[in-house]
Amino acid sequence: MKIIDGRQISDAKRAQIKELTAKIKSETGKTPGLATILVGEDPASKVYIGSKIKACENAAIKSFHFALAANASKDEILSLIKSLNSNAEADGILLQLPLPDNSFAQECINAISPLKDVDGLHPFNAGLLNLSKNWDELIEKNALLSCTPAGIIHLLKASSIAIEGKTAVVIGRSNLVGKPISMMLLANNATVIMAHSKTKNLKELSKSADILIAAAGKPRFINKEYIKNGAAVIDVGINRVGGKLCGDVDFDDVKDMDISITPVPGGVGPMTITMLLENTLKAFKNRDRSA
Protein backbone atom coordinates (compact mmCIF):
# COMPACT_ATOMS: atom_id res chain seq x y z
CA MET A 1 0.00 0.00 0.00
CA LYS A 2 1.16 3.49 -0.86
CA ILE A 3 -0.32 6.37 1.13
CA ILE A 4 -1.30 9.51 -0.80
CA ASP A 5 -0.33 12.10 1.82
CA GLY A 6 -2.92 14.86 1.51
CA ARG A 7 -1.34 16.96 4.25
CA GLN A 8 2.09 16.98 2.61
CA ILE A 9 0.70 17.76 -0.85
CA SER A 10 -1.59 20.40 0.63
CA ASP A 11 1.26 22.07 2.53
CA ALA A 12 3.31 22.34 -0.66
CA LYS A 13 0.38 23.86 -2.55
CA ARG A 14 -0.37 26.32 0.26
CA ALA A 15 3.25 27.50 0.23
CA GLN A 16 2.81 28.30 -3.48
CA ILE A 17 -0.45 30.11 -2.75
CA LYS A 18 1.25 32.20 -0.06
CA GLU A 19 3.95 33.21 -2.56
CA LEU A 20 1.32 34.14 -5.15
CA THR A 21 -0.59 36.20 -2.57
CA ALA A 22 2.57 38.12 -1.74
CA LYS A 23 3.23 38.67 -5.45
CA ILE A 24 -0.30 39.98 -5.98
CA LYS A 25 0.08 42.40 -3.08
CA SER A 26 3.48 43.54 -4.35
CA GLU A 27 2.20 44.14 -7.89
CA THR A 28 -1.24 45.59 -7.12
CA GLY A 29 -1.08 46.88 -3.56
CA LYS A 30 -4.18 44.78 -2.86
CA THR A 31 -4.73 41.64 -0.79
CA PRO A 32 -7.17 38.92 -1.93
CA GLY A 33 -10.04 38.56 0.53
CA LEU A 34 -12.44 35.78 1.48
CA ALA A 35 -15.77 36.35 3.23
CA THR A 36 -17.21 33.42 5.17
CA ILE A 37 -20.81 33.17 6.38
CA LEU A 38 -21.89 30.81 9.16
CA VAL A 39 -25.58 30.49 10.01
CA GLY A 40 -26.20 28.91 13.41
CA GLU A 41 -23.96 27.12 15.90
CA ASP A 42 -23.41 23.70 14.36
CA PRO A 43 -20.18 22.41 16.01
CA ALA A 44 -18.78 20.75 12.87
CA SER A 45 -19.50 23.84 10.76
CA LYS A 46 -17.80 26.06 13.34
CA VAL A 47 -14.69 23.86 13.17
CA TYR A 48 -14.69 23.98 9.36
CA ILE A 49 -15.05 27.76 9.30
CA GLY A 50 -12.31 28.12 11.90
CA SER A 51 -9.98 26.00 9.76
CA LYS A 52 -10.73 28.14 6.71
CA ILE A 53 -10.10 31.39 8.57
CA LYS A 54 -6.80 30.04 9.94
CA ALA A 55 -5.76 28.85 6.47
CA CYS A 56 -6.44 32.33 5.07
CA GLU A 57 -4.31 33.86 7.81
CA ASN A 58 -1.42 31.49 7.08
CA ALA A 59 -1.63 32.23 3.35
CA ALA A 60 -1.76 36.03 3.95
CA ILE A 61 -5.29 36.17 2.51
CA LYS A 62 -7.61 38.66 4.19
CA SER A 63 -10.64 37.02 5.82
CA PHE A 64 -13.99 38.47 6.82
CA HIS A 65 -16.31 36.35 8.93
CA PHE A 66 -20.05 36.90 9.36
CA ALA A 67 -22.01 34.89 11.94
CA LEU A 68 -25.81 34.82 11.76
CA ALA A 69 -28.22 33.32 14.25
CA ALA A 70 -29.64 29.87 13.56
CA ASN A 71 -33.09 31.42 13.05
CA ALA A 72 -31.81 33.97 10.51
CA SER A 73 -34.35 34.32 7.71
CA LYS A 74 -33.68 33.68 4.06
CA ASP A 75 -34.00 37.42 3.43
CA GLU A 76 -31.32 38.19 6.05
CA ILE A 77 -28.89 35.77 4.43
CA LEU A 78 -29.66 37.06 0.94
CA SER A 79 -29.22 40.64 2.12
CA LEU A 80 -25.76 39.84 3.52
CA ILE A 81 -24.76 38.06 0.31
CA LYS A 82 -25.95 41.03 -1.76
CA SER A 83 -23.84 43.41 0.31
CA LEU A 84 -20.78 41.17 -0.04
CA ASN A 85 -21.31 40.93 -3.81
CA SER A 86 -20.71 44.69 -3.96
CA ASN A 87 -17.90 44.70 -1.38
CA ALA A 88 -14.67 45.36 -3.29
CA GLU A 89 -12.52 43.80 -0.56
CA ALA A 90 -14.31 40.45 -0.63
CA ASP A 91 -13.08 38.58 -3.69
CA GLY A 92 -14.68 35.32 -2.62
CA ILE A 93 -17.84 34.45 -0.69
CA LEU A 94 -18.31 31.15 1.09
CA LEU A 95 -21.64 30.19 2.62
CA GLN A 96 -21.03 27.29 5.03
CA LEU A 97 -23.42 24.41 4.35
CA PRO A 98 -25.68 22.90 5.46
CA LEU A 99 -27.87 25.75 6.66
CA PRO A 100 -30.11 25.15 9.71
CA ASP A 101 -32.97 25.34 7.21
CA ASN A 102 -31.38 23.86 4.10
CA SER A 103 -34.54 24.14 2.02
CA PHE A 104 -33.41 27.47 0.55
CA ALA A 105 -29.67 26.76 0.43
CA GLN A 106 -29.53 26.63 -3.38
CA GLU A 107 -31.36 29.94 -3.64
CA CYS A 108 -28.70 31.49 -1.41
CA ILE A 109 -25.90 29.94 -3.46
CA ASN A 110 -27.53 31.27 -6.63
CA ALA A 111 -27.47 34.76 -5.11
CA ILE A 112 -23.67 34.74 -4.80
CA SER A 113 -21.97 36.46 -7.72
CA PRO A 114 -20.49 33.76 -10.00
CA LEU A 115 -17.25 35.75 -9.93
CA LYS A 116 -17.10 35.35 -6.12
CA ASP A 117 -18.40 31.77 -5.92
CA VAL A 118 -15.25 30.17 -4.46
CA ASP A 119 -17.15 26.97 -3.63
CA GLY A 120 -17.80 26.47 -7.34
CA LEU A 121 -21.45 25.64 -6.67
CA HIS A 122 -23.21 28.44 -8.56
CA PRO A 123 -25.06 27.14 -11.66
CA PHE A 124 -22.83 29.34 -13.86
CA ASN A 125 -19.63 27.73 -12.60
CA ALA A 126 -21.13 24.24 -12.54
CA GLY A 127 -22.25 24.84 -16.14
CA LEU A 128 -18.80 26.08 -17.12
CA LEU A 129 -17.32 22.81 -15.85
CA ASN A 130 -19.84 20.74 -17.77
CA LEU A 131 -19.50 22.68 -21.02
CA SER A 132 -15.71 22.92 -21.16
CA LYS A 133 -13.99 20.60 -23.61
CA ASN A 134 -11.03 19.59 -21.49
CA TRP A 135 -8.89 20.41 -18.45
CA ASP A 136 -6.66 22.84 -20.35
CA GLU A 137 -9.70 24.91 -21.24
CA LEU A 138 -10.78 25.05 -17.59
CA ILE A 139 -7.29 26.21 -16.59
CA GLU A 140 -7.26 28.79 -19.38
CA LYS A 141 -10.63 30.15 -18.24
CA ASN A 142 -9.38 30.29 -14.62
CA ALA A 143 -12.60 28.49 -13.71
CA LEU A 144 -13.82 28.40 -10.11
CA LEU A 145 -14.13 24.65 -9.54
CA SER A 146 -15.80 22.82 -6.68
CA CYS A 147 -13.09 22.53 -4.02
CA THR A 148 -13.13 18.86 -2.97
CA PRO A 149 -13.18 17.49 -6.56
CA ALA A 150 -10.50 19.96 -7.66
CA GLY A 151 -8.43 18.85 -4.67
CA ILE A 152 -8.80 15.22 -5.76
CA ILE A 153 -7.47 16.04 -9.24
CA HIS A 154 -4.52 17.85 -7.66
CA LEU A 155 -3.79 14.86 -5.40
CA LEU A 156 -3.75 12.49 -8.37
CA LYS A 157 -1.51 14.75 -10.47
CA ALA A 158 0.86 15.55 -7.59
CA SER A 159 1.18 11.79 -6.94
CA SER A 160 1.99 11.12 -10.62
CA ILE A 161 -1.10 8.96 -10.99
CA ALA A 162 -2.13 8.89 -14.64
CA ILE A 163 -5.72 9.88 -15.40
CA GLU A 164 -5.81 9.94 -19.19
CA GLY A 165 -7.09 6.71 -20.70
CA LYS A 166 -7.80 5.19 -17.29
CA THR A 167 -11.11 3.78 -16.07
CA ALA A 168 -12.46 5.83 -13.18
CA VAL A 169 -15.41 4.69 -11.07
CA VAL A 170 -17.14 7.31 -8.92
CA ILE A 171 -19.38 5.96 -6.15
CA GLY A 172 -21.77 8.77 -5.22
CA ARG A 173 -23.64 11.32 -7.32
CA SER A 174 -23.85 14.40 -5.09
CA ASN A 175 -23.64 17.92 -6.51
CA LEU A 176 -20.80 18.58 -4.10
CA VAL A 177 -18.49 15.71 -5.08
CA GLY A 178 -19.84 12.92 -7.28
CA LYS A 179 -21.05 14.91 -10.26
CA PRO A 180 -18.24 17.48 -10.45
CA ILE A 181 -15.40 14.96 -9.93
CA SER A 182 -16.89 12.86 -12.74
CA MET A 183 -16.75 15.85 -15.09
CA MET A 184 -13.22 16.77 -13.98
CA LEU A 185 -11.99 13.22 -14.57
CA LEU A 186 -13.68 13.29 -17.98
CA ALA A 187 -11.97 16.61 -18.73
CA ASN A 188 -8.69 14.82 -17.99
CA ASN A 189 -9.59 12.11 -20.54
CA ALA A 190 -10.55 9.32 -18.16
CA THR A 191 -13.35 6.90 -18.99
CA VAL A 192 -15.83 7.58 -16.19
CA ILE A 193 -18.46 5.31 -14.67
CA MET A 194 -20.83 6.90 -12.14
CA ALA A 195 -22.25 4.53 -9.55
CA HIS A 196 -24.76 5.12 -6.75
CA SER A 197 -27.19 3.45 -4.36
CA LYS A 198 -29.27 2.01 -7.21
CA THR A 199 -26.33 0.64 -9.21
CA LYS A 200 -26.35 -3.12 -9.82
CA ASN A 201 -23.16 -5.22 -9.76
CA LEU A 202 -21.34 -2.47 -7.85
CA LYS A 203 -18.49 -4.74 -6.76
CA GLU A 204 -17.76 -5.83 -10.33
CA LEU A 205 -17.89 -2.24 -11.60
CA SER A 206 -15.66 -0.97 -8.78
CA LYS A 207 -13.13 -3.72 -9.39
CA SER A 208 -12.72 -2.49 -12.97
CA ALA A 209 -11.50 0.90 -11.73
CA ASP A 210 -7.96 2.14 -12.19
CA ILE A 211 -9.12 5.13 -10.13
CA LEU A 212 -11.85 4.60 -7.53
CA ILE A 213 -13.54 7.62 -5.92
CA ALA A 214 -15.41 6.55 -2.78
CA ALA A 215 -17.98 9.23 -1.94
CA ALA A 216 -20.96 7.18 -0.82
CA GLY A 217 -21.17 8.52 2.74
CA LYS A 218 -21.18 5.02 4.25
CA PRO A 219 -18.48 4.22 6.81
CA ARG A 220 -16.08 1.42 5.78
CA PHE A 221 -18.44 0.42 2.97
CA ILE A 222 -15.69 -0.31 0.44
CA ASN A 223 -13.53 -3.35 1.23
CA LYS A 224 -10.97 -5.30 -0.80
CA GLU A 225 -13.74 -7.05 -2.75
CA TYR A 226 -14.42 -3.72 -4.49
CA ILE A 227 -10.80 -2.88 -5.39
CA LYS A 228 -8.28 -4.34 -7.80
CA ASN A 229 -4.56 -4.37 -7.15
CA GLY A 230 -2.79 -1.42 -8.73
CA ALA A 231 -5.75 0.93 -8.32
CA ALA A 232 -5.66 4.45 -6.91
CA VAL A 233 -8.34 4.82 -4.24
CA ILE A 234 -9.54 8.28 -3.20
CA ASP A 235 -11.59 8.10 0.00
CA VAL A 236 -13.83 11.17 0.28
CA GLY A 237 -15.87 9.86 3.21
CA ILE A 238 -15.72 11.54 6.59
CA ASN A 239 -17.65 9.46 9.11
CA ARG A 240 -17.51 9.42 12.89
CA VAL A 241 -17.75 5.91 14.33
CA GLY A 242 -17.07 5.20 17.99
CA GLY A 243 -15.69 8.68 18.49
CA LYS A 244 -13.14 8.28 15.70
CA LEU A 245 -13.07 9.47 12.09
CA CYS A 246 -13.10 6.91 9.31
CA GLY A 247 -13.67 6.95 5.59
CA ASP A 248 -15.94 5.09 3.19
CA VAL A 249 -13.11 2.58 2.65
CA ASP A 250 -12.36 -0.13 5.20
CA PHE A 251 -8.71 0.88 5.56
CA ASP A 252 -7.70 -2.12 7.68
CA ASP A 253 -9.23 -4.55 5.19
CA VAL A 254 -7.30 -3.12 2.20
CA LYS A 255 -3.99 -2.25 3.89
CA ASP A 256 -2.18 -5.30 2.47
CA MET A 257 -3.25 -4.59 -1.13
CA ASP A 258 -1.00 -3.16 -3.83
CA ILE A 259 -2.87 0.15 -4.11
CA SER A 260 -2.41 3.89 -3.63
CA ILE A 261 -4.90 5.34 -1.16
CA THR A 262 -5.80 8.53 0.68
CA PRO A 263 -6.16 8.11 4.46
CA VAL A 264 -8.97 9.53 6.60
CA PRO A 265 -8.15 11.91 8.11
CA GLY A 266 -5.19 13.44 6.27
CA GLY A 267 -6.16 12.72 2.68
CA VAL A 268 -8.77 14.67 0.77
CA GLY A 269 -9.76 16.96 3.67
CA PRO A 270 -6.70 19.25 3.72
CA MET A 271 -6.91 19.71 -0.06
CA THR A 272 -10.49 21.00 0.10
CA ILE A 273 -9.46 24.09 2.05
CA THR A 274 -6.33 24.50 -0.08
CA MET A 275 -8.42 24.67 -3.25
CA LEU A 276 -10.69 27.20 -1.54
CA LEU A 277 -7.62 29.42 -1.09
CA GLU A 278 -6.65 28.90 -4.72
CA ASN A 279 -10.18 29.80 -5.83
CA THR A 280 -9.94 33.02 -3.81
CA LEU A 281 -6.83 34.00 -5.79
CA LYS A 282 -8.56 33.03 -9.03
CA ALA A 283 -11.57 35.15 -8.06
CA PHE A 284 -9.28 38.11 -7.37
CA LYS A 285 -7.63 37.77 -10.77
CA ASN A 286 -10.92 37.20 -12.61
CA ARG A 287 -12.56 40.25 -11.05
CA ASP A 288 -9.47 42.36 -11.67
CA ARG A 289 -9.37 41.23 -15.31
CA SER A 290 -13.09 41.90 -15.82
CA ALA A 291 -12.94 45.46 -14.41
**Tens digit of pLDDT for each residue in 87-143?**
999 999 999 999 999 999 999 999 999 999 999 999 999 999 999 999 999 999 999
CB 246 within 8 A of CB 219: yes
What pLDDT is recorded for position 44?
A: 87
At residue 12, φ and ψ (nearest 5 deg) are -65, -40
Residues facing 283 on adjacent strands? none
Is 96 in the active site?
yes
CB 107 within 8 A of CB 74: yes
Along the 291 residues of the chain, how does pLDDT read in single tens digits?
Answer: 999 999 999 999 999 999 999 999 999 999 999 999 999 999 989 999 999 999 999 999 999 999 999 999 999 999 999 999 999 999 999 999 999 999 999 999 999 999 999 999 999 999 999 999 999 999 999 999 999 999 999 999 999 999 999 999 999 999 999 999 999 999 999 999 999 989 999 999 999 999 999 999 999 999 999 999 999 999 999 998 988 999 999 999 999 999 999 999 999 999 999 999 999 999 999 986 444
Q: Report d(CA 106, CA 113) in Å as an integer.
A: 13
Residue 155's H or E segment, with its range, is helix 147-158
What pLDDT is recorded for position 288?
A: 60
Which DSSP letter does residue 224 get?
Answer: G
Helix (H, G, I), strand (E, B) or coil at 258: coil
Residue 290 burial (10 A CB sphere; 0-12, 13-18, 19+): exposed
CB 201 within 8 A of CB 229: no
Is 119 in the active site?
yes
What pLDDT is recorded for position 290?
A: 46
| Helix (DSSP H) and strand (DSSP E) numbers for the chain | 11, 11
Residue of 13, 62, 116, 119 marked active site: 119
What pLDDT is recorded for position 291?
A: 42
Is 166 in the active site?
no
- The full set of domains in the chain, from first to last, is 29-114 (3.40.50.10860), 146-269 (3.40.50.720)
Q: Is the pTM of this model over 0.75?
A: yes
Q: Helix 178-187 vs helix 123-131: angle between axes, to the nearest 10 degrees?
A: 30
Q: Report d(CA 112, CA 249) in Å as an integer.
A: 35
